[in-house]
Structure 1
Amino acid sequence: MSEVENASGWDAIDAALQNIYGDQEPKHYGTIIPYMLGGPDPLNGISVYEVKEPVAHWHFVTYGFSELYDKESSDPDYSGYGFELTFRLSKPDNEDEPPAWALNLLQNMGRYVFGSGNIFRSGDYMDANGPICQGADTLLTALSFIADPQLPEIETPNGRVEFLQMIGITQEELLAMQVWNTLGVLSAISEHIPLYTTNLLRDSLLSLPAVSEAVRIGSETEGSNTGILYVDQLSWNPSPAGGISKTLTIGAKQAEVVGKLLRGRILKKRNLTLSGPETRIVFEPGEAREVQEQEDSVTIKLDPAAATAIARLLTPVAGTFAVPAWPELIVSIVPTHIKDSEGNIVESIG
């Protein structure tokens, strides 16, 4: 891209990749119609390198989260969003071209960031609510993010750029990251996925005793780093006129993780915030049980016994349950219906 005028940001990314791959010419997939002119793809392009060691894989690198040309953002320290995404995908011997679904996945990440303004950081995770490769028979249904092990942060004329690697993970591994922390889990599984390479055919690594034990010890001793969790199905029903009970409603799909987070946060004297479409529930550790209702949020103060009691009720089984020794609080678990891109229900939980 050096022939393009003012492509200093692009050239800086090229130079970082040349340090690893030398003269290897990547397969590059650019956009035909720029996003700003109505094109469907927000990223300017994606380069893909073929790697043979330590395992055969494709190494995808995006161009477009950072400022590739002139400086436009007001932050002098960071270029654009401050990162580019990378993705390492296992390569079968008979595969000559990188699969299109992986390119689409990275562009979808671009649509999410450009549309929401939310950025990714090392240690983040995201539930894909289905296979990361749509239609594939894989257990990988979520993503996690860590600094690319071979691409350090670079300085460009437009500011700093970090290379964040996206990693496909299972629901079991996602749960472990939520109840402990992403980087701890990734460290525990790193020897089993060289360079954090995604392999659609692999099983959950929590089935390995050493990994499972590392997660157990980490979550019990350190608690959870997840202080805020978005919950799709979340509501609060205050007491009806003359009544005393209040109902906390949570979808079955996320009930289990909320229960585990209550233990990992409240029992470690940390708050837990559940953010839903219409309300926000804040759990706080306290000496006594108390509910404080605000206009658009609710604060629930829990002693250790109450936190443990509620956590035990939060399982992926639909039903309405009274909290032991706290008749004022009801927990309702409602079914979760997972739908495909066309709106068809493909799975029901609870």
Structure 2
Amino acid sequence: MTKEEYKDSFDEEDAVGWLSIDKKLEEIYGDTEPRHYAPALHYAIGGEDPIDGSSIYDSEKQSFHRHIISYGMSELYYNEEKIGEPFSKWGFEFTFRIKPFEEDEKDPLWAIQVMNNLAKYVYSSGKWFEAYHFIPANGPIRLETDTDIVGLAFVPDPELGVIQTPHGEVSFLQMVGLTTKETERLLANPKTDEVERLINEMRETNPLLITDLKRKS
């Protein structure tokens, strides 16, 4: 897309990257309105959370779960200087698929905070996540919860995949909860091919890689 095409298609009030994400989500969820959560104060003006907002959809696919998508790791807003970049900002957005958990009143808002904590790491370190990276959480991913899910792997979201935007490529990286045993396995062999091997094993019984906080090692 040339600068002239960009200026003809959008104006300075348009959230160009955000619209690209929404277009992809419409392919999956049609005109369903998600529940959207945004921080009270934007990060650019002193807020603590780098993610501008997170949408949560209810999905009936495979088994009922919440599907969370972040907005904030890619270039969301009108910016002529970013036209045609290979990657949009950090080049990804987080997603998460979570089986309902009785200690959540409805939506798993703790998961949005996990995304923000990961985003803070990216913004402060300059290091980003890619498919088949993993991290130990050094405790339960939902704080103060009796769960064996103590790590996270990052995989291509099986429905959203990768999109091309006017600002460059955006990958939807789905966070997948790992048990203690799985986390220990990857710490012993942290190569991406071992992470992918584990994820492929998980896909045999859980194709959408839905995280269940009650799952045991």
Give the TM-score normalised by the residue count of structure 2.
0.87
Report the CA distance between 1:54 and its aligned residue.
0.8
In structure 2, the residue corresponding to 1:83 is in which secondary structure? strand
AA aligned opposite 1:104 = Q
1:118 aligns with 2:127: yes
Report the CA distance between 1:172 and its aligned residue.
1.3
Give the whole-Å Cα distance in 1 for the aligned partners of 2:11 and 2:77: 12
Match runs of 1:223-302 below 5 Å: none
Report the CA distance between 1:171 and its aligned residue.
2.4
Give the TM-score normalised by the residue count of structure 1.
0.55
* Percent of aligned positions that are identical: 39
Structure 1: which 4+ aligned runs deviate by more than 6 Å?
Answer: 93-96
Aligned to 2:156: 147
Give the whole-Å Cα distance in 2 for the aligned partners of 1:4 and 1:40: 25
Q: How many matched pairs?
A: 203
Aligned to 1:190: 203
Q: After superposition, what is the alpha-carbon deviation per residue over 1:77-105, rounded to whole angstroms, capped at 9, x for unaligned?
A: 11000000100000259977312211111
Give the whole-Å Cα distance in 2 for the aligned partners of 1:184 and 1:142: 16
| Selected match of 1:58 from 66, 71, 81 | 66
1:174 aligns with 2:187: no
Report the CA distance between 1:75 and its aligned residue.
7.9
In structure 2, the residue corresponding to 1:121 is in which secondary structure? coil
Aligned to 1:44: 52
AA aligned opposite 1:170 = T
In structure 2, the residue corresponding to 1:196 is in which secondary structure? coil
Say if 1:163 and 1:197 are closer, same or farther in 2 by CA, change over 3 A: same
Q: Which has the higher strand share?
A: 1
1:77 aligns with 2:90: no
User: Which one has the largest radius of gyration?
Assistant: 1
Match runs of 1:300-319 below 5 Å: none
Contact 2:94 2:174 (C-alpha < 8 Å) held by counterparts: yes
Instruction: Quote the RMSD (CA, aligned, Å).
Output: 2.2
Give the whole-Å Cα distance in 1 for the aligned partners of 2:47 and 2:84: 26
Contact 2:51 2:72 (C-alpha < 8 Å) held by counterparts: yes
Gaps of 5+ in 1: 205-350
Say if 1:40 and 1:7 are closer, same or farther in 2 by CA, change over 3 A: same
Report the CA distance between 1:177 and its aligned residue.
2.9
Higher relative contact order (CA 8 A, sep 6+): 2
